[in-house]
Structure 1
Amino acid sequence: MPNQVSMGALMTCTFGAAPSALVVLPKNKVLCEGPPAANIMDHVPLMNIMPFAVCSSPANPVVAAATAAALGVLTPMPCIPATSAPWVPGAPTVLIANMPALDNISKCMCNWGGVIAFSSAGTVKTMIP
């Protein structure tokens, strides 16, 4: 069974160099094993999703420009997440602030082609049916 995701959950991006922790503001007014619980709308770049060190996606315009300047040698550049769509699929049977709860099997797509997934949910006891 999937676990509920809460503040501090660790995420990885397929084009990122290091993991990042999810930031969940207490606006949902639901706590999960202490920290605030997340829903699928907690996907805002630089507010909920922090950078993954450097980005190596050739679809990222900054990486493409640096790679072109380096005569075609892939040049990773600082990550600035670009997540315009919510996490999918979430847990449709459990609502937090009238939106599906975020579980640890959900994914979020970055506009530059990366897939953001959870390596740790931030909770260990709270399961979502």
Structure 2
Amino acid sequence: MEKKMSELVTMSGTCVCSMGTAPAPIKVTSQAKVLAGGKPCATIADSAPLSNVGPFGMCTSLANPQVAAATAAALGVLTPQPCVPAPAGSFIPTKPKIIIGGKPCLTNDCKLICSYAGQISIVNPAQVKATAQ
């Protein structure tokens, strides 16, 4: 079986949360010198809520206090609430030897844990070809 290589995630990449209902874009703010297809490559530091990782539609996790309160008010019927990402740290690097600006690069197989029991993963890295400026 052929092993697929990891791809760098760029500014137009998207991710999903296992507890969310929609994908969200990745915004790269950690560096601007290493490009892929003319777009900045992300690092594991690009994990801040809203400035790097957008909302995932509606949150369905009962670990989220807003979802738990709405569900209790609905007599136990799961009542999703708007997602406000709550990353617990930075993306977990899978290729820590590939460094961009002193930080491990973000690849399509990296994961980010949400404080509300979700797992955030990359669904579209949007990487084409890496170049340096």
TM-score w.r.t. the length of structure 2 is 0.89
- Pair 1:44 & 2:48 matched: yes
Match for 2:60: what amino acid? S
Counterpart-to-counterpart distance in 1, 2:36 and 2:129: 9
Contiguous gaps of at least 5 residues in structure 2:
none
Query: C-alpha separation between the residues in 1 aligned to 2:32 and 2:64?
Result: 32
TM-score (norm: length of structure 1): 0.92
User: 1:3–1:125: 8 Å Cα contact kept in structure 2?
Assistant: no
Q: Is the 8 A contact 1:17 1:52 kept in 2?
A: yes
Match of 1:54 among 58, 65, 88: 58
| Preserved CA contact (<8 Å) 1:5 1:121 | yes
- Report the Cα distance in structure 1 between the residues aligned to 2:105 and 2:32, rounded to whole angstroms: 10
Query: CA–CA distance in 1 between the matches of 2:30 and 2:67?
Result: 34
Give the residue type in structure 2 aligned to 1:64.
Answer: A
Query: 1:70 maps to which residue?
Result: 74
Instruction: Find 2:15's aligned residue among 3, 7, 11.
Output: 11
Answer yes or no: is 1:79 the counterpart of 2:83: yes
Q: How many residue pairs get matched?
A: 126
- Misfit runs of 4+, over 6 Å: none
Inter-partner Cα distance in structure 2 for 1:33 and 1:67: 44
CA drift of 1:28 comes to 4.3
**Contact in 2 for aligned 1:39/1:90 (Cα 8 Å):** no
The alpha carbon displacement at 1:4 in A equals: 0.5
Q: Who is 1:34 aligned against?
A: 38
More off after superposition, 80-89 vs 25-34? 25-34
Secondary structure at the aligned position of 2:122 is classed as: strand
Residue type of the alignment partner of 2:16: T
Q: Tell me how far apart the structure 2 counterparts of residues 28 and 10 of structure 1 sit (CA, whole Å).
A: 18
3-state SS in 2 of match to 1:105: coil
Q: What's the RMSD between the two structures over aligned residues? A: 1.3
TM-superposed CA distance for 1:112, in Å, is 0.2
Identical pairs, percent: 44
In the aligned structure 1, how far is the partner of 2:108 from the partner of 2:129? 13
Runs of 5+ in structure 1 lacking a partner? none
The whole-number CA distance in structure 2 between the counterparts of 1:86 and 1:71 is 36
Say which SS state the counterpart of residue 31 (structure 2) adopts: helix
Say if 2:99 is the partner of 1:95: yes
